[in-house]
């Protein structure tokens, strides 16, 4: 029997564990995206800094 279609506690448990895994994976993806976005924002050169560098060179 396929565990996904089998009735009973094991079938419910498996789908619950799968849902929790997918939810945690989604949270992980969102956190990595936020961390990446913030790192990218910090690494950008502001227009003021660009002008300062242009005047120094």
Domain residue ranges of the chain, discontinuous segments joined by +: 9-56
CA geometry: angle 31, 45, 35, nearest 5 deg: 5
Q: How confident is the model at residue 6 (pLDDT cuts 50, 70, 90)?
A: low
Give the H or E element holding residue 38: helix 9-43
Provide mean pLDDT across the span 10-28: 83
* Cβ-contact 4, 15 below 8 angstroms: yes
CB atoms within 10 A of CB 11: 15
Computed over every residue of the chain, the mean pLDDT equals: 84
Tokens of 37: 């976005």
Asked if the model's pLDDT at residue 53 lies above 60, the reply is: yes
Asked if residue 51 has pLDDT above 70, the reply is yes
Exposure on the CB side of residue 5, measured as CA atoms within 13 A = 2
């Amino acid at each position: 029997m396929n565990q996904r279609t089998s009735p009973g506690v094991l079938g419910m448990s498996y789908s619950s564990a799968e849902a929790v895994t997918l939810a945690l994976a989604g949270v992980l993806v969102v956190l990595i995206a936020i961390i990446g976005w913030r790192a990218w924002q910090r690494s950008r050169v502001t227009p003021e800094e660009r002008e300062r560098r242009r005047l120094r060179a």
